[in-house]
Structure 1
Amino acid sequence: MVGAIVATGLMSFCGVMVETAMNITFPTLMREFRIGTSTVQWMTTLYLLVVAVMVPLSATLKRRFKMRNLFLVAISLFIAGVIIDGLAPAFWVLLLGRGIQGLGTGIALPLMFNIILERVPASKRGMMMGVGTMITGVAPALGPTFGGLVVGAMSWRFIFAFLLPVLIVALGLGVSCIEQKSVPVAAQIDQLSVVLIVVTFCGLIFGISNWGAQPFISLPVAGALAVGVLALIWFTHRCLTISVPIINLRLFRNPAFVEALLAFACVQIGSLSLSFLLPNYIQLVNHSSALIAGLVVLPGAAVGAVVGPLSGRWYDVAGARAPLRTSAVISLLGTVGLWLLGNQLVNLAILFLYTLFMFGRGVGFGNIMTVGLNQLPTTDYADGNAIFNTVQQFTAALGISMAAAIVAAGQAHSTSQVVGTINGSVHSFAVLALLTIIELVVLWHVTRKNISPANA
């Protein structure tokens, strides 16, 4: 069981590692390919969009195919994408490689949590969910520093080259350790639902990402958002009317599940927004190197990763109230601090406030997911897991697109890139502080009755 979790976790690790490592290289890519902020962010946003489109299919794929075969397809796609990106001669080729990597990660990511949900007893599930989130949480801790070191010493292309040995280890573990407990059954994938998911996510993200550079009443902004909303309404209606939907949206009738999902979305938007905002602020405003930017955000990402399993154990012993409320309060202190000091953020202040935010995120992230899934009957775990992972990837893309749009708007309305980046970052920090307040209110309500594994 542990080997299977590590195998799927290592692949997810590589996906998040290259994501945060490439965030550090955005200023370098902007210079090399002569592109702007609103364009370079698609390196991460496209990847997250593809993952978000694939994850809803996870419950159907799990029922239809053997888990080992799914893993082999996933890791083969990811390796192909890594090779394409390492050799990419143009920015569009980089995007193509990232998209292929997203296909692989979108299949593999839910496998890890499905294995935990199926094989780990409820009394230990919080800790193991924490281990699962730690595996993917260590990657953002190492990614910025790894990216800064590689860019400073060699070329950004070696970021992809160094992932290959890790992927080979994951491949070996997956082949030897992933076992099939349930018998695959015939399950059809509703193709129209897949198309509607793609149109929904692409419309919403494309509209938001263009908001900073285009007027709201325009085809790239309001038009794209309208298309996304209409596709979402159609998708919702279809899922509620067909016999075997891609996502069981009837789970949204469970108020506690929905509240946990909302808090989870707020945490993820904040986390990914900051992973974009802070490295760029450090390089463009404070004029530090990519390596320094990576080192500044390293402690925060590392603390967030290490705290995950410990907070999961805290949940197993004490229930949900203490860890979830504590996480939201600490995260709020971090985002409010960034907002209030945003006009004059020295690197030391960024290091402290980001570490504070990530400590809060680490305490709450895995536990919020555990609380939400524990509101469901065991037969709905796969669908609930698919919903959580879909929201995780979509809100990650949303967070980066939103932050990039706000910063791009600040830069467009200023004659100085430094001043524009500061103004855009401060406005982004204010939005994140508001989202953290929403998270705090929701979690306070969710935990008005202490939830523990024993009564979940």
Structure 2
Amino acid sequence: MNQQMNTTLNQQIKTGPIMAALLVAGFVGLFSETALNIALGQLSQIFQVNPTTIQWLATGYFLTLGILVPVTGILMQKFTTRQMFMTSVSLSIIGTIIAATAPSFSLLLVARIIQAAGLAIALPLTQNVIFTIFPPNKRGGAMGIMGLVMLAGPALGPTLAGLILDTLSWHWIFWFTIPFLLFSFLFGLVYLPNVNEIRKVSIDVISVILSTIGFGGIVYGVSVGGEHGWTNTTVLTSIIIGAAALIIFAIRQTKMETPMLNLKAFNYPLFVLGVIMSFITFFNMLSMLVILPMYMQMALLIAAFTTGLMLLPGSLLNCILAPTIGHLFDKYGPKAVITPGTILVAIGYGLYSQFGTDTALWMIVVTHIVMMLGIGAVLASVQTNTLNSLPKRYYPDGIALTQTVQQVAGAVGIAVMVSILSAKETGYLAANPNEHAQAAASGSSFVFTISLILAVVNVVLSLFIKSPSPSPSSSTIKVKTKSAMKTTESINRV
């Protein structure tokens, strides 16, 4: 009977179509995360709102992710894989259609929040499915492909959106993604099995409220900090309330029998190390994707679409090599991939920090290629090793924790680095009026120097990375499996 069940399960799980359904949905969500950024100036004029208000189309997306990703951890234990996936893609489709037809700013903002809700489910769900349907020795390759999507979506967003804006209206940034979402929905409907373990868990409303206030308060505070100043009462109050709510949330989780987020994952040193490295990587990467185009347009006076084209080679090369990097991880272990990757990232930031108003364009392209290769080697590999360090029962919690950290790191990184850039520019212009290009170059150089310091910290941390030891439970399972096979053979002989 067990043999028949295993055969049926293996027939159900077709990893290729499953990965296609999950990764296409993730790509669209991550593409949408950055694609609209290039149209914000145009949308500000169309809807007649100021730049501060229009920025909420980007900030609101991050804020929603920061709030909902922690909740997804417990939802994955309460609902089936198919229910979660269909809900995710349905939200993405609904949000995208509303956005494409939105007649006002407020409705477009609501649509962005619905889109982000779909992505908040899709990202943790994809990782959980990968770690369920692939054995440990093949997860690196699978996560490498996911890393391709995580980098390609945000990186290609501005370039493709710029091309769409040059030929069509902004509405087509959304209409463009509908066929991909329908493809994902149909493939998931046909091929995606229920692979997660359903548990009788209840959603603790108080934990959800504390999580929402905590992550939402911090992300909101740092998002408006650059605009209002870090000493502003609203900014400080938001961050303090958010931090206090997170502390209370963490204490509550440790005292609950079935917590919303099982913080016992932090008892595993390799998990903690991976979370710190992920935070630094996303802090640096997402802020770089904002600061670098600003430097190119403000200091070198390059057009937006040209900027996107110059950054395209690094992104495409990274996409091509992502599966190879995953296979190298599986074959040679984490340190052989992650440490060289962190060194490449540090070299990239070292070069960025030397850029000025007369930097050759080919140098920017080459440096970006070096940077993206390094990020590609670090991103998926760190995530894979971080989750490999946990027992299977902690996967949903570990995924929710790492995804939350990554989204918060991105929002904080962008807000902090843009604020530092602005302050440095203002200080330079006070002493050197009318030298706007040089001011932008000076501010960008300072920001990249800070990123270089953080990148060097990651190089040092990578030296402590190692492959997790097989858990006792895994060994027990293997022994039981071998015993069961021997018993089956004996029965067959009889």
TM-score over 0.5 for the pair: yes
The yes-or-no answer on 1:244 pairing with 2:250 is: no
Contact residue 9 and residue 136 of structure 1 kept, 8 A: no
Higher Cα Rg, which structure: 2
- Number of the residue aligned with 2:10: none
The yes-or-no answer on 1:434 pairing with 2:456 is: no
Change (3 A) 1:228 1:116: same
The alignment partner of 2:200 has SS state of: coil
> What's the CA shift for 1:39?
4.9
Tell me whether 298-307 or 421-430 shows the greater mean CA deviation. Answer: 421-430
- Number of the residue aligned with 1:84: 98
User: CA-to-partner distance for each residue in 1:190-224, whole Å, 9 max, x for gaps?
Assistant: 12222222222222222223333334332122222
Alpha-carbon distance between aligned partners in 1 of 2:284 and 2:440, rounded to the nearest angstrom? 18
Query: What 5-or-longer segments of structure 2 have no aligned partner?
Result: 1-14, 475-494
The alignment partner of 1:179 has SS state of: coil
Contact residue 134 and residue 309 of structure 1 kept, 8 A: yes
Tell me whether 49-58 or 33-42 shows the greater mean CA deviation. Answer: 33-42
- Number of the residue aligned with 1:74: 88
Alpha-carbon distance between aligned partners in 1 of 2:229 and 2:68, rounded to the nearest angstrom? 31
Alpha-carbon distance between aligned partners in 1 of 2:230 and 2:138, rounded to the nearest angstrom? 49
| Partner AA of 1:371 in structure 2 | N
| Partner AA of 1:75 in structure 2 | V
- Number of the residue aligned with 1:205: 219
Alpha-carbon distance between aligned partners in 2 of 1:434 and 1:335, rounded to the nearest angstrom? 9
The alignment partner of 1:357 has SS state of: helix
The alignment partner of 1:211 has SS state of: helix
| Partner AA of 2:254 in structure 1 | L
The yes-or-no answer on 1:397 pairing with 2:397 is: no
Match of 2:107 among 89, 93, 104: 93
User: CA-to-partner distance for each residue in 1:207-262, whole Å, 9 max, x for gaps?
Assistant: 22333333433212222221121111111111111111111112112222101111
Alpha-carbon distance between aligned partners in 2 of 1:85 and 1:403, rounded to the nearest angstrom? 29
| Partner AA of 2:456 in structure 1 | I
Alpha-carbon distance between aligned partners in 2 of 1:21 and 1:345, rounded to the nearest angstrom? 27
- Number of the residue aligned with 1:307: 321
Alpha-carbon distance between aligned partners in 2 of 1:418 and 1:196, rounded to the nearest angstrom? 44
Alpha-carbon distance between aligned partners in 2 of 1:247 and 1:177, rounded to the nearest angstrom? 29
- Number of the residue aligned with 2:285: 271
> What's the CA shift for 1:285?
3.4
Matched positions, count: 453
Q: How does 1:46-445 map to 2 (within 5 A)?
A: 46-182=60-196, 184-410=198-424, 414=429, 418-445=437-464
Alpha-carbon distance between aligned partners in 2 of 1:341 and 1:58, rounded to the nearest angstrom? 41
Alpha-carbon distance between aligned partners in 2 of 1:143 and 1:217, rounded to the nearest angstrom? 34
Alpha-carbon distance between aligned partners in 2 of 1:328 and 1:93, rounded to the nearest angstrom? 42
- Number of the residue aligned with 1:446: 465
Alpha-carbon distance between aligned partners in 2 of 1:285 and 1:35, rounded to the nearest angstrom? 27
Change (3 A) 1:243 1:202: same
Tell me whether 5-14 or 410-419 shows the greater mean CA deviation. Answer: 410-419
Change (3 A) 1:342 1:373: farther
User: CA-to-partner distance for each residue in 1:8-64, whole Å, 9 max, x for gaps?
Assistant: 211110011122322333444455556666555433332122122222222321221
Alpha-carbon distance between aligned partners in 2 of 1:404 and 1:372, rounded to the nearest angstrom? 29
| Partner AA of 1:193 in structure 2 | S
Alpha-carbon distance between aligned partners in 2 of 1:263 and 1:425, rounded to the nearest angstrom? 23
Contact residue 284 and residue 418 of structure 1 kept, 8 A: yes
User: CA-to-partner distance for each residue in 1:82-113, whole Å, 9 max, x for gaps?
Assistant: 12222334444332221111111111111111
TM-score (structure 2 length as normaliser): 0.85
Contact residue 141 and residue 300 of structure 1 kept, 8 A: no
Contact residue 4 and residue 112 of structure 1 kept, 8 A: no
Change (3 A) 1:230 1:161: same
Larger relative contact order (CA 8 Å, sep ≥ 6): 1
> What's the CA shift for 1:183?
5.3
Match of 2:22 among 8, 19, 22: 8
Query: What 5-or-longer segments of structure 1 have no aligned partner?
Result: none
Change (3 A) 1:361 1:247: same
Tell me whether 182-191 or 222-231 shows the greater mean CA deviation. Answer: 182-191
Contact residue 276 and residue 403 of structure 1 kept, 8 A: no
Alpha-carbon distance between aligned partners in 1 of 2:224 and 2:438, rounded to the nearest angstrom? 21
Change (3 A) 1:97 1:404: farther
Give the superposed CA RMSD.
Answer: 2.4
Change (3 A) 1:24 1:132: same
Alpha-carbon distance between aligned partners in 1 of 2:195 and 2:220, rounded to the nearest angstrom? 40
Alpha-carbon distance between aligned partners in 1 of 2:146 and 2:440, rounded to the nearest angstrom? 35
The alignment partner of 2:257 has SS state of: coil
The alignment partner of 2:146 has SS state of: helix
The alignment partner of 2:375 has SS state of: helix
Tell me whether 325-334 or 313-322 shows the greater mean CA deviation. Answer: 313-322
Identity value in percent: 30
Contact residue 239 and residue 248 of structure 1 kept, 8 A: yes
| Partner AA of 1:402 in structure 2 | V
Alpha-carbon distance between aligned partners in 1 of 2:442 and 2:206, rounded to the nearest angstrom? 42
Change (3 A) 1:382 1:213: closer
| Partner AA of 2:459 in structure 1 | L
Contact residue 24 and residue 293 of structure 1 kept, 8 A: no
User: CA-to-partner distance for each residue in 1:269-306, whole Å, 9 max, x for gaps?
Assistant: 11111111222333333333332121011112222223
Alpha-carbon distance between aligned partners in 1 of 2:323 and 2:35, rounded to the nearest angstrom? 24
Tell me whether 5-14 or 19-28 shows the greater mean CA deviation. Answer: 19-28
- Number of the residue aligned with 2:8: none
- Number of the residue aligned with 2:486: none
